[in-house]
Amino acid sequence: MIMYTAKFGDLIEFSYPIGYSHWALYDGDGYVVHFAVAVGRVIDRQTIRRVHIREVKVPQGVRMFINNYHHSYVASDPWYIRQRVNALLGRQFTYDLFNLNCEHFATYLRYGRAVCNQRMMQSTSDTIEAVNFGRTYGMRKKQSINSKS
């Protein structure tokens, strides 16, 4: 079971039988941080949430696994991942399937770069790269890591 093998910062993929996946970042103790659309609320702003992995609403038959090797980027130091999680948790964003979805969000937390490798209906390439969350939403990277503990 993922809760016993996942480590902080791991990407969790919920793979749907239809070829789409939902993505979250493992936050420890059985919890994930994710960006999900509430049922029937696609056009509303969505809140970044931390929930127990069992509370992630996915259809029956969805496979769930750790998928850190799917992206060709090196994971950020856990300190930076934690800073991103803390800065975005509870914030609201407008979900955009092509430019700002759950995979963009999860990869931004882990790698500092928002990437989506899922094939979308509009996509003509294998990778859709979103604008960096930090630049888009006014977050600033720490200039100094002196406060790093």
34 catalytically annotated: yes
> Looking at this protein, which amino acid is placed at residue 99?
N
- Catalytic residue status for 102: yes
Taking Cα atoms as reference points, which of 93, 88, 100 lies closest to residue 129? 100
> Residues 26, 47: contact at Cβ < 8 Å?
no
d(CA 83, CA 32): 15
Residue 53 backbone class (left: φ over 0; alpha: ψ -120 to 50; beta: rest)? alpha
State the amino acid at position 6 in one-letter form: A
98 DSSP assignment: T
Is residue 22 annotated as a catalytic residue, yes or no? yes
- The residue behind tokens 């931390």 is 50
3-state secondary structure at position 136: helix
| Given the residues 52, 70, 102, 104, the one annotated as active site | 102
Catalytic annotation, residues: 22, 34, 102
